[in-house]
Structure formats: structure tokens, C-alpha cells
Structure 1
Amino acid sequence: MRPQIKLPLARKLRREMTPPEVMIWSRLKGAPNSELRFRRQHPVGPYVLDFYCAKVRLAIEIDGQVHGLETVVQMDERRDMWLRSQGIDVIRINAADVMKDADAVAGIIWDSAFSRLQR
């Protein structure tokens, strides 16, 4: 699927973010390092990524309960494999972890992004 086809979906998803996504976005949008900038609900190939930092080619996916279902796990694996084939690393984070401690989760995301920047 071409990226321009995914653009309307990405815009819709930006307007309808889940509470964990909103919590993480509020911590990612004010970048402590001007070299790193995250985008939310960003289309890449046939997918829309929850968060993406192009500078370090890092995707962040916030997974709710549905991601525990076998069919969804298989789709996530195919998606991650495709993204890796494009040189994009994926970090999957459980939505429940965000709800428990969004600051800690955001810290993990920033640490991962900064470490990739140093490579």
C-alpha cells in the first residue's frame, strides 16, 4: 500500500489516540535534544507507526491487550520483520506499563533513541 493511501488513516489515528499514546506523546513531543524528533501516527510503507524518530530509524509501538491474541501477535511479527528489513528498529511497549509509569517508559524510549544517535 502506498504511503499516500495511509495518510488519511494516520491523520484519523492522530485525532483518536489512546490514553497511553497520549501520555507518551506528551513526553516525546518536547524533545530534550533538538537532533531527535518523534512523529506520532507516522505512515511508513504499508503501516502507520504509533511513534517514529526518523533520525535514528526507531519505531515505538504501544500495545494494548489485543496484541496478546495469537493472530495479532503474528501480524505484529510480520510488521516488525518488514520494518527491520527497511532498517527500522521497533520497540514494543505494553500499554499497561505506560499507565503505571509513563515517565519511566518515556525515559526508556529517550535512552534508546540517544544510544542509537551515538552509533
Structure 2
Amino acid sequence: MSDNLHQGANPRLFGYARVNRQISTEAEAILWQCLRNRKLKGCKFRRQHPIADYIADFYCFERGLVIEVDGEYHMDKEQMAYDEQRTNRLNELKIKVIRFTNREVMEKLDFVLKEIKRHLVDAPHPRPFS
């Protein structure tokens, strides 16, 4: 894999990502079933993918799109500030971040998938694998 795929991620994040894949939330597991194996618009998604200093819940390298599924703790003021900083950093790397709550995934999956599709259509041309 090219370094571009991970944007120089710290090696320790790969171990954390592996653990995260084993303990995903119910909402993440449901969304993963809809994204895996190029099920959504033929785009390849990776789950718990290290990028720079972060681990993205779901990442489509080809479209430069990160999808985050947020639990209740993301409503905490400090966590919200961290999430904003994280989003800004990923945006600097030309990666778009969209967020959904666990509740949205669990109760409004059709809406979530429609929104993801909309962002895949609006995404720039596919990225080269260099």
C-alpha cells in the first residue's frame, strides 16, 4: 500500500485499528455490512483505517471520504472540539469527513446510505493509486 493511503500514519495506530475492528459497535457493524465488498456505488471502503494521526471508522481512499459513526460521548464538549480539530486536519489532506450518530445508523439506515451516496457522487475524481 502506498504511504498516500495512510498519510504517514504512526505505526502504533495499526495495532489499535486491528483491535477496533474486533470490537466494533452494533451501528458500525450494520453500516459495514452495507459498505463492504464495494456494495455502495462500487466504492471500496476500509474500516478502522489509520490516516495521519487518526483512525477513521470507514475510509474510501478512491473518493477521499471518511465516514464517522459517533456514540453519545461525541456530544461531550471536549470530544466535540477534538472531533472538529480532527476533521480540519483530514480536510487539509483533501479528505472529506461526514458524521452520523449510532442512532441514525440504527434507526435511519436508508437516510444514512442516501447521504453517503450523495457524498460519493459529489466527491472529486477518483484518486490515483500512486
Residue 28 of structure 2, aligned match among 21, 24, 28: 21
Which residues of 2 match residues 21-100 of structure 1 at below 5 A? 21-32=28-39, 33-34=41-42, 36-100=43-107
Task: Output one character per residue of 1:14-67: Cα deviation in whole Å (capped at 9) or x when no partner.
Answer: 011000000100000032443x20100000011000000001110000011100
Deviation of residue 113 (structure 1)?
1.2
For structure 1, list consecutive stretches of 5 or more residues without a partner in the other structure: none
Deviation of residue 109 (structure 1)?
1.0
Distance verdict in 2 for CA 1:112–1:2, change over 3 Å: closer
* Separation in structure 2 between the aligned mates of residue 59 and residue 26 of structure 1, nearest angstrom: 16
* Separation in structure 2 between the aligned mates of residue 2 and residue 61 of structure 1, nearest angstrom: 18
Distance verdict in 2 for CA 1:2–1:56, change over 3 Å: closer
Deviation of residue 106 (structure 1)?
2.0
Contact 2:63 2:125 in 1 (8 A): no
* Separation in structure 1 between the aligned mates of residue 71 and residue 17 of structure 2, nearest angstrom: 18
Which residue in the other structure is 1:106 paired with? 113
TM-score (norm 1): 0.90
Q: Aligned pairs, how many?
A: 118
1:48 maps to amino acid: I
TM-score (norm 2): 0.83
Contact 1:62 1:94 in 2 (8 A): yes
Distance verdict in 2 for CA 1:30–1:106, change over 3 Å: farther
1:83 maps to amino acid: L
Pairwise CA RMSD: 1.8
Aligned-pair identity (%): 31
Contact 1:27 1:103 in 2 (8 A): no
